[in-house]
Amino acid sequence: MLPLLTARDFQFPAISLAGTVDHGMYLHFRNMLATAPPEGLVAIEISTLGGDPEIARMMGEDIRFHSDLYPGRRLVFLGKTAVYSAGATFMGFFAVENRYLTRGTRVMIHERIITKDIRLQGPLSTCVASLKAVLNEIEASIAIQNEGFANIVLGSQVTMDDVLARSTENWYLEANEAAAMGLVAAVL
């Protein structure tokens, strides 16, 4: 088990992210990650009301990849104020022992959302194919969403059934509640 960190360890984070999880955040994140020290503690703080879950997954894959590239480096997550939606997806790429929240931070986990109008026009077989394509998109998105949920709960006391049941209604957790459930190492 890694030692618990303190507020002093996060005094000068190598990477500070705030705002919508989007391409702009991703570019900033990549630039900061490229200049982060190859060894020792690298703190990554984020405050977000959410954004693009695929961008969050790309950032998370960069964390996973860089953890393998630089085993002497400890990449640590610090959620500040709000870690909603895509922010929670990003948090899931860090092991529980490398996840921290500041006091009063809220984490929000929810199902992916789709808005799509389906207009059927043309030969009936084409209509069936169009409907199957949308169904395939939804099923693939659910599988990706559930991979993210599994990452978030791994190593915690929260079960997959818990997160699946609560995520349909936007599950908000206060920092101390998240720590008590083992979703984060500590609250600073």
Calculate the average pLDDT of the chain.
Answer: 96
CB 74 within 8 A of CB 98: yes
pLDDT at 37: 94
Label residue 2 by pLDDT band (50, 70, 90).
Answer: confident
> What's the rounded mean pLDDT across residues 52-80?
96
Q: Would you call 42 helix, strand, or coil by DSSP?
A: strand
The answer, yes or no, to whether residue 17 has pLDDT greater than 90, is yes
Which tokens go with 55?
């961008």
* Cα atoms found within 13 Å of the Cα of residue 131, Cβ hemisphere only: 9
Residue among 110, 21, 98, 111 at smallest CA distance from 58: 21
Question: Which element (helix H / strand E) includes 82?
Answer: strand 73-84
DSSP state for residue 9 in the 8-state scheme:
G
- Domains in the chain, start-ordered, CATH in brackets? 7-187 (3.90.226.10)
User: What's the pLDDT tens digit per position in 104-128?
Assistant: 999 999 999 999 999 999 999 889 9
Global pTM value: 0.94
Q: Are strands 171-174 and 106-109 parallel, antiparallel or unpaired?
A: antiparallel
User: What's the pLDDT tens digit per position in 157-184?
Assistant: 999 999 999 999 999 999 999 999 999 9
The answer, yes or no, to whether residue 6 has pLDDT greater than 80, is yes
The answer, yes or no, to whether residue 1 has pLDDT greater than 80, is no
